[in-house]
A = this chain, B = another copy of it.
């Protein structure tokens, strides 16, 4: 992966699929005429699902994994799946897979995402990928088209990890990256286990994990970042996922009176937290794009105006598409922490909160997405995903790629999350055509 690259052959002005015009599909890898999803039906389902656990006065939702709100959201989506005549199965970690049979007995081409949210979630994160999958099925059914491979629409459990760690738990268990028992034993932020909550809400299913490998997997998702919007591009062709390194840093200094302690006698944990924070920004700038580095959380103790902080706990989030560079950044951080500790006379300890190596998606599937979008007259951009997604787990077992649509102001994990309806529609139409091509035998 080489970061962001705007597709040279299309510009936003060339798009008409997003303008609601008919019949501008320029070609494509299959011989079939292009179909279009039903924009209003997609928007209606997104709105109806967002009202489950809805956050008053916003378009967002709060459906933490395995809560009553999650159960209600699951119930709604499963009803829609059954109404479409799909065969719904639930596995041991609560992943729900709905299958539309193909003309041949082959592994399904799968799409999907998640419907759990963070506590202050938006309307589109995850939900778009699942409900666009239903749109694909309903559009094919309405056109009386059956693909060679079966089509599967899935929603994976606990993608957000906002109640139970790790995130992407359902898809991780689905591909065998985590045992079912270990996942069940996970204790949530409220002290209960994932397994007991899964049973309580009636989604401890009978299908075993790991589940069967699909023929291919494509996930449509909002970007959750500002890159597409800033570039004025409609479709992100996601070639992989950045590697992620999360470190929690604890600094133990000495609490002292801010008025009576001369500067030279201080061991200020808050100062060291600040030094690390500014250094982390410099590190990102020095390494350059696509490195990102963030100190998002700082907690001082006792956190009073007139007391030199005794302790500080902060987090460092480092991400890069290149594993070697990510390791260099981690190493540089370790060296710097030693230097800061010596200079201020504090003790520093670290704890890894998460570490994922970069994931490369299938170039073939990514090319298919890019070509399909271009044929629709949509502008495209090759890019990595900065956030983690279920697709990165599925990439372990089958050819996989993702489609991104723009996020207004890059805002996500927030009720203000928004994607233009034109962009939602364009993304779903690209998903429809890509799934159809893959299910009819496009090379992977």
Contact = CB atoms under 8 A, between A and B. Distances in A.
Contacts of A386: 257-261
Contacts of A303: 296-299
B281 A263 contact: yes
The quantity of this chain's copies bound in the complex is 2
Interface in A252-268: 254-263, 265, 268
A259 B388 contact: yes
A250 to B, nearest CB: 14
B300 A246 contact: no
A226 B261 contact: yes
Contacts of A268: 281, 294
Contacts of A290: 262
**Most chain B CB within a 10 A radius of its CB, from A120, A290, A410:** A410
Contacts of A293: 263
B260 A289 contact: no
Contact of A297 (B271, B304, B387): B304
A292 B274 contact: no
A188 interface: no
B281 A295 contact: no
Interface string A292-316: 1111111110111111110000010
Contacts of A223: 260
A39 interface: no
Contact of A225 (B257, B297, B387): B257
Given A297-B305, A298-B303, A262 B278 contact: no
Interface in A394-444: 409-414
Nearest to A344: B281
Interface residues of A, number: 68
**Most chain B CB within a 10 A radius of its CB, from A223, A258, A299:** A258
A223 B265 CA distance: 15
B410 A257 contact: yes
B259 A317 contact: yes
B298 A270 contact: yes
A244 interface: yes
A163 interface: no
A385 interface: yes
A227 interface: yes
Given A278-B271, A285-B263, A305-B315, A226 B256 contact: yes
B298 A306 contact: no
A273 B270 contact: no
A277 interface: yes
A296 B292 contact: no
A106 interface: no
A50 interface: no
A411 B256 contact: yes
A43 interface: no
A263 B278 contact: no
A242 B262 CA distance: 13
Contacts of A302: 120
Interface in A347-391: 353, 385-388
A283 to B, nearest CB: 10
**Most chain B CB within a 10 A radius of its CB, from A242, A265, A274, A309:** A274
Contact of A410 (B246, B261, B271, B289): B261
A410 B274 contact: no
A391 to B, nearest CB: 14
Interface of A: 120, 223-227, 230, 242, 244, 246, 248, 254-263, 265, 268, 270-271, 273-278, 281, 284-285, 289-300, 302-309, 315, 317, 319, 353, 385-388, 409-414
30 contacts: A225-B261, A226-B262, A242-B259, A246-B305, A255-B411, A256-B411, A257-B410, A258-B294, A258-B317, A259-B317, A259-B387, A260-B385, A260-B386, A260-B412, A262-B290, A263-B291, A265-B410, A270-B277, A270-B296, A274-B275, A274-B278, A275-B278, A294-B306, A296-B303, A296-B304, A296-B306, A297-B305, A298-B303, A305-B353, A306-B387
